């Protein structure tokens, strides 16, 4: 037997992924663009400057090499090494040169000059800076048109090191300036873009969470966001109208479900539910509740003789007169046909209920004028029952009051009857 797999649904799936905010995305995007732009500009500037500097360094080395070759020509011809080294030192000592070497026609070193005084770090920087520069310049030493030796000149790379340090520093300064400007631009974007979108999201959340259809999005200076806000507000207008119409329809349906269409009074279902709640409260508080069961005495005769329209007019008039004769706190309802019921709260004794029943009877003494001008007279029979004196629950209270009403109708000489 295969085991059963029980799947428990814990509610709708919710995406709990933490997403970056729009402000963060805009700032990071701007920072990446700024860094890429500055880096690309720096690379382009370095390449152009390196090309120019390489050409300049090469021409400068060739010029220096020719100058040195002309100066040491006599020393090479007369094989005076000391004079050659002195001549080289006088020229190379003031130039950006690392080494000057004189070789004879056989390639052997005749004289050499090397710059001294640079520390290990300086020499390492100069060697690194010298990598992209020309390897050196070689020119012949001639005498009377014959080559008597060669001059090999190697640059020091000091100028390129200065250029490299300055370029890196300039790039860093530009990057700092651009990032600072980017911060200001990001704040401006936050005010112009992020804040309106955040306000729109807050309104949307309020509508979804609290049904606050009266909320609206404020105008913004950006055309696209302003148009979006206008469309959203128009949608909210439609939702508000729809919500208002729905509330009215619900209220109408609720009123129709709980009230009599002819008289507008509460119907039997609504009355019995309210009666149950009031009886529960009276049972807890120990108070007295009175119930008047009311029936029209001549309604059937009027309805059969004059028609249903006249009968409806009589029922409306009876309901209106009885409602006016009751207290505002009393619950008055139509149970059906020509039967009405009144629920009296806050009574101290039976005499109060009897006084109210007599007032209801007196309200029916005047004739009722029908729509056609015809007048009719009618009266009511009232049964009075008290909780908890005559009954201890809703059903018993209604039956007792109904029975008392029929007793009053049979007597004929009195409009009300108190239950026994």
Q: Which residues are catalytic?
A: 338
Phi and psi at residue 180, in whole multiples of 5°? -65, -45
138 within 8 A of 65, measured Cβ to Cβ: yes
CA end-to-end distance (rounded Å), the chain? 71
Bridging pattern class, strands 146-155 and 331-336 = unpaired
What gap in Å lies between CA 44 and CA 53, rounded to an integer? Answer: 14
What gap in Å lies between CA 86 and CA 89, rounded to an integer? Answer: 5
Quote the tokens at residue 304: 């059969």
What gap in Å lies between CA 106 and CA 89, rounded to an integer? Answer: 24
Best CA proximity match to 416, nearest among 322, 330, 312: 322
162 half-sphere exposure, CB direction, 13 A CA radius: 5
Best CA proximity match to 217, nearest among 196, 241, 190: 196
What gap in Å lies between CA 121 and CA 98, rounded to an integer? Answer: 15
The CA distances from residue 207 to 22, 231, 239, 246, in Å, are: 22, 15, 10, 16
376 within 8 A of 366, measured Cβ to Cβ: no
């Amino acid at each position: 037997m295969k085991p059963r797999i029980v799947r428990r649904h814990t509610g709708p799936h919710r995406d709990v992924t933490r997403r970056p905010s729009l402000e963060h995305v805009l700032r990071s995007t701007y920072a990446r663009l700024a860094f890429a732009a500055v880096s690309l500009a720096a690379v382009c500037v370095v390449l152009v400057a390196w090309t120019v500097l390489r050409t300049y360094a090469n021409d400068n080395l060739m010029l220096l090499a020719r100058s040195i070759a002309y100066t040491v020509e006599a020393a090479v011809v007369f094989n005076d090494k000391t004079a050659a080294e002195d001549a080289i030192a006088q020229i190379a000592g003031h130039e950006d040169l690392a080494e000057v070497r004189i070789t004879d026609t056989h390639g052997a070193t005749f004289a050499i000059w090397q710059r001294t005084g640079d520390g290990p770090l300086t020499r390492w920087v100069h060697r690194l800076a010298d990598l992209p520069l020309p390897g050196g310049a070689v020119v012949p030493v001639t005498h009377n048109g014959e080559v008597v030796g060669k001059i090999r000149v190697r640059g020091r790379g000091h100028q390129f090191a200065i250029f490299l340090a300055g370029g890196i520093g300039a790039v860093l300064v530009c990057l700092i300036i651009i990032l600072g400007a980017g911060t200001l631009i990001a704040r401006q974007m936050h005010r112009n873009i992020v804040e309106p979108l955040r306000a729109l999201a807050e309104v949307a959340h309020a509508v979804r969470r609290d049904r606050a259809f009266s909320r609206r999005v404020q105008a913004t200076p950006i055309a696209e966001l302003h148009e979006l806000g206008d469309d959203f507000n128009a949608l909210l207008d439609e939702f508000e109208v729809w919500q208002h119409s729905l509330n009215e329809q619900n209220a109408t349906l609720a009123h129709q479900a709980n009230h009599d269409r002819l008289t507008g009074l509460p119907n039997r279902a609504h009355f019995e539910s309210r009666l149950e709640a009031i009886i529960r409260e009276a049972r807890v508080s120990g108070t007295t509740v009175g119930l008047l069961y009311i029936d029209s005495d001549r309604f059937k005769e009027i309805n059969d003789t004059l028609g249903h329209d006249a009968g409806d007019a009589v029922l409306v008039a009876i309901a209106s007169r009885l409602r006016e004769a009751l207290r505002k706190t009393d619950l008055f309802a139509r149970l059906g046909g020509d039967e009405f019921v009144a629920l009296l709260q806050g009574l101290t004794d039976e005499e109060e209920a009897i006084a109210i029943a007599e007032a209801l009877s007196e309200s029916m003494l005047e004739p009722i004028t029908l729509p056609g001008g015809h007048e009719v007279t009618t009266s009511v029979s009232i049964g009075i029952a008290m909780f908890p004196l005559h009954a201890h629950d809703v059903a018993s209270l209604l039956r007792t009051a109904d029975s008392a009403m029929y007793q009053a109708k049979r007597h004929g000489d009195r409009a009300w009857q108190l239950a026994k």
